[in-house]
């Protein structure tokens, strides 16, 4: 029986992580850096709570001029970087200029002023994005220093990193002494490491969540947040192509993909944003996720075709006099994406549409996975549009109705076909306590502590 002390948080120990990504750096502006890991070292001026609302972090408060083009962010006093340098407005301004060259950032004593070319009412939420973390860079730009609860002690790019507790952390020293991260570990290697006691926390792929729970593992999941979508390389060039794209969307049985391929690890969708963040995705889903969709729902002009409805798909395909033959690109190293691509190809052929799979970058459309970068609905939609290379959404006054209209316009461009939102998950040993999975899929390790093995 564990002692009373083992049930209470205490300091000490090394948390061992195994992850699939293999980043060359933890620099938050670099592509492919896991947000969960970057946030251990680097912090932003603003943080978002579980409801996507901005909260103070390195900035204690902020204010904007009328028009929301000029903002002032007041810095927290008594904060130091890992190299001992104090947090000051000059370093903050330099960091934000590096990640946002289009902004005018001015350092002014205990605050920074940010000026944007157009109204930016969501600027505090933008500043919570990982890429806007405050980084102190050496002259060579090789050595990076942050203000977070852990500092980079050593690392082997893409293979291993060791982080040590920041003894002078402004919010209080973390419980853990250190975090060791093994990169480039596939699903099998991660699970084996967990079983052999070589890792305390591992990632669990969406398709393996059900099995991991059936094996009585401790599994924590996020909300459905990672979008799987088909993305066309260009706008439709004719009415025929609009009909063909709508027919393709209607032909794909996303419910079967979720149940068979993902083992229930996701949710079929007709929307870009998941319902938990927008509150209205079910409207797109109701029009686009089952074979009982009405003829009105199958109208390509509505932007919400009836997914998995082969009859509607064939009817829509017949509206196209000259059917294109498309190449469908995908990442061959991603097993799940490859299997889903093969399913899409078969569904398309059943409806009379010809697709050819390709692993090249010059395909007509691509099957992609896109993770949410924010739990704020406005910023999340804008970031998705940017990743999909769509025009910035025009959200108006920020109301739910305006957001819905903005997303509908993006879907009506016929550039993207949303298929599924997948959950992210981790499995952990029973000695790991207080690990949280945030709604956007990132982990929170700030209050994690370790206990001894239970007999």
In a structure prediction context, what are the per-residue pLDDT tens digits for the chain, which is 455 residues long?
344 445 678 899 999 999 999 998 889 988 778 888 999 999 999 999 888 899 999 999 999 999 899 999 999 999 999 999 999 999 999 999 999 999 999 999 999 999 999 999 999 999 999 999 999 987 655 689 999 999 999 888 889 999 999 999 999 999 999 999 999 999 999 999 999 999 999 999 999 999 999 999 999 999 999 999 999 999 999 999 999 999 999 999 999 999 999 999 999 999 999 999 999 998 987 644 333 333 333 343 344 444 668 888 888 888 888 888 999 999 998 999 999 999 999 999 999 999 999 988 899 999 999 999 898 999 999 999 999 988 889 887 778 999 999 999 999 999 999 999 999 999 999 999 999 988 778 888 889 999 985 43
Tell me whether domains 1-18+152-164+172-222+424-455 and 226-422 share a fold: no
Q: Give the CATH H-level superfamily of domain 1-18+152-164+172-222+424-455.
A: Periplasmic binding protein-like II (3.40.190.10)
Angle between helices 335-350 and 239-251 (to 10 degrees): 110
Instruction: List, for residues 392-420, the tens digit of each pLDDT value.
Output: 898 877 789 999 999 999 999 999 999 99
Q: What is the token pair recorded at 110?
A: 């205990």
> Which of 23, 27, 36 has the alpha carbon at shortest distance from 442?
36
Q: What is the token pair recorded at 143?
A: 């050595």
Instruction: Give CA–CA dist 123/71, Å, rounded.
Output: 8
Indicate the pTM of the whole model: 0.87
The DSSP result for 253-273, as a single string, is -HHHIIIIISTT-EEE-SSSS
Break the chain into its structural domains and give their ranges: 1-18+152-164+172-222+424-455, 43-147, 226-422
Q: How many other CB atoms are there within 10 angstroms of residue 4's CB atom?
A: 6
Domain 226-422: assigned CATH number = 3.10.105.10
Instruction: List, for residues 165-191, the tens digit of each pLDDT value.
Output: 999 999 999 999 999 999 999 999 999
For the chain, give the percent of residues with pLDDT over 90.
72
- What are residue 112's DSSP bridge partners? 73, 107
Compute CA distances 214 → 186, 204, 222, whole Å: 21, 13, 18
Domain 43-147: assigned CATH number = 3.40.190.10
Find the angle CA(259)-CA(264)-CA(267) to the nearest 5 degrees.
95
């Amino acid at each position: 029986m564990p002692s009373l002390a083992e049930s209470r948080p205490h300091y000490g120990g090394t948390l061992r992580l195994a992850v699939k990504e293999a980043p060359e750096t933890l620099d938050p502006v670099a592509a492919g850096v896991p947000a969960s890991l970057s946030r251990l070292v680097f912090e932003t001026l603003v943080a978002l709570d579980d409801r996507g609302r901005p909260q103070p972090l390195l900035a204690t408060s902020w204010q904007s001029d009328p028009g929301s083009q000029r903002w002032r962010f007041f810095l927290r006093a008594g904060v130091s970087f890992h190299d001992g340098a104090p947090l000051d407005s000059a370093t903050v301004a330099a960091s934000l200029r590096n990640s946002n060259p289009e902004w005018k950032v001015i350092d002014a004593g205990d605050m920074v002023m940010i000026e944007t070319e157009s109204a930016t009412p969501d600027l505090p939420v933008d500043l919570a994005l990982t890429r806007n973390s405050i980084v102190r860079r050496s002259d060579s730009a090789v050595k990076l220093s942050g203000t977070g609860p852990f500092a980079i002690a050593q690392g082997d790019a893409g293979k291993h990193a060791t982080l040590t507790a920041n003894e002078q952390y402004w919010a209080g020293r973390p419980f853990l002494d250190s975090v060791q991260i093994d990169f480039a570990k596939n699903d099998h290697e991660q699970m084996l490491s967990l079983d052999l006691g070589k890792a305390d926390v591992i990632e669990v792929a969406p398709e393996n969540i059900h099995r991991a729970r059936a094996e009585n593992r401790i599994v924590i999941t996020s909300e459905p947040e990672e979008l799987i979508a088909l993305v066309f390389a260009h706008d439709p060039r004719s009415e025929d192509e609009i009909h063909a794209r709508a027919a393709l969307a209607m032909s794909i049985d996303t419910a079967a993909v979720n149940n068979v391929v993902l083992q229930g690890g996701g949710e079929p969708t007709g929307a870009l944003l998941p319902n938990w963040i927008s509150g209205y995705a079910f409207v797109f889903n109701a029009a686009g996720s089952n074979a009982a969709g009405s003829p009105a729902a199958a109208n390509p002009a509505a932007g919400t075709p009836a997914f998995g409805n082969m009859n509607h798909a064939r009817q829509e395909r017949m509206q196209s006099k000259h059917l294109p033959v498309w190449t469908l690109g995908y990442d061959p190293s991603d097993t799940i994406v490859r299997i889903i691509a093969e399913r899409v190809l078969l569904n398309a052929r059943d409806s009379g549409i010809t697709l050819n799979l390709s692993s090249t970058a010059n395909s007509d459309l691509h099957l992609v996975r896109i993770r949410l970068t924010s739990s704020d609905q406005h910023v999340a939609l804008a970031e998705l549009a940017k990743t999909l290379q769509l025009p910035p959404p025009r959200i108006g006054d920020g109301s739910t109705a305006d957001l819905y209209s903005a997303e509908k316009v993006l879907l009506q461009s016929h550039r993207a076909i949303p298929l599924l939102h997948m959950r992210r998950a981790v499995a952990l040993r029973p000695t790991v306590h207080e690990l949280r999975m945030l709604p956007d899929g990132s982990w929170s390790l700030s209050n994690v502590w370790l206990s001894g093995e239970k007999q």
